[in-house]
Structure 1
Amino acid sequence: MDAKMKTELLEIQPHELRIIFELGKQSSCSIRLVNKSDHHVAFKIKTTSSSKYCVRPNIGVIKPTRTCDLTVTMQAQNVAPPDLICNDKFLIQSTIVPDATTENFIMSTTFAKEDGKHVEENKLKVILISPPHSPTFSPMNGISRMRPYNTAIEPNDDLLQNNSSHAKVAEVMQHEQSVNRKHTEELRLNNDVEEIKSKLREFESILKQENLRINQHTRAREIGLRLLFISVVALVSAYLGYLLHG
Structure 2
Amino acid sequence: MAEFLSVHPSELKFPFELRKQSSCSLQLTNKTGHYIAFKVKTTNPKRYSVRPNAGIISPNSVCSITVTMQAHKEAPPDMQCRDKFLIQSAIAPHGATNKDVTQEMFNRRDEKNTGEFKLRVVYIPANPPSPVPEGDEDGASSTASSADDEIKRSSFSEAARSTIIKLKEEKEAAVKQNKELLNELEKARKQTRQGRGAASIRILLYFLLLGILVGYFIRK
Q: Indicate the TM-score class for this superposition, using the shorter chain for normalisation.
A: 0.5 to 0.7
Unaligned runs of 5+ in 2: 131-220
Shift of 1:83: 1.2
Indicate conservation of the 8 Å contact 1:19/1:126, yes or no: yes
Structure 2 equivalent of residue 125 of structure 1: 120
Mapping for residues 73-88 of structure 1, pairs under 5 Å: 73-88=68-83
1:11 and 2:6 matched: yes
Q: Say whether residues 1:103 and 2:78 are aligned partners.
A: no
Partner of 2:63 in structure 1?
A: 68
List gaps (5 residues or longer) in structure 1: 1-6, 136-246
TM-score (norm 2): 0.56
Separation in 2, partners of 1:134, 1:46: 34
Deviation at 1:114, TM superposition (A): 2.9
1:38 to 28, 33, 43: 33
Moved segments of 4+, more than 4 Å? none
Q: Secondary structure at the match of 1:34?
A: strand
Q: How far off is 1:100 after superposition?
A: 2.2
Query: Which residue identity lines up with residue 88 of structure 2 in the other structure?
Result: Q
Q: Which residue of 2 aligns with 1:192?
A: none
Q: What CA distance in whole angstroms lies between the structure 2 residues aligned with 1:42 and 1:74?
A: 24
- Largest Rg, 1 or 2: 2
What is the identity, as a one-letter code, of the residue corresponding to 1:89?
A: K
- Tell me the amino acid that sits aligned with residue 107 of structure 1: T
**Structure 1 residue 108 displacement after superposition:** 1.0
Q: Distance in 2 between matches of 1:133 and 1:116?
A: 44
Match among 20, 36, 49 for residue 54 of structure 1: 49
Aligned partner of 2:25: which letter? S
Which residue of the partner structure matches residue 147 of structure 2?
A: none
- Sequence identity of aligned pairs in percent? 48
Structure number with the bigger relative contact order (C-alpha 8 A, sep ≥ 6) is: 2
Distance in 2 between residues matched to 1:115 and 1:127, nearest whole Å: 32
Contact 1:8 1:37 in 2 (8 A): no
Distance 1:116 1:17, change over 3 A: closer
Over residues 125-162 of structure 1, what are the superposed CA-to-partner deviations in whole Å (9 max), with x where a residue is unaligned?
00001122369xxxxxxxxxxxxxxxxxxxxxxxxxxx
Give the C-alpha shift of residue 117 in structure 1.
5.5
- Measure the CA separation in 2 of the matches of 1:17 and 1:115: 29
CA separation in 2, counterparts of 1:116 and 1:134? 47
1:79 Cα deviation (Å)? 1.1
One-letter amino acid of the structure 2 residue matched with residue 87 of structure 1: R
Per-residue CA deviation, residues 88-108 of structure 1 (Å, 9 max, x unaligned), is 000000011111211112111
Encode CA deviations 1:163-207: one digit per residue, 9 max, x unaligned: xxxxxxxxxxxxxxxxxxxxxxxxxxxxxxxxxxxxxxxxxxxxx
Q: Which of 81, 97, 109 is the matching residue for 1:114? A: 109
Partner of 2:26, secondary structure, is strand
Contact kept? 2:11, 2:122, Cα under 8 Å: yes
CA distance in 1, matches of 2:37, 2:113: 12
Secondary structure of the residue that 2:6 maps to in structure 1? strand
Cα RMSD (Å) of the superposition?
1.9
* Native 8 Å contact 2:40 2:88 kept in 1: yes
Q: Give the AA of the match of 2:30.
A: N
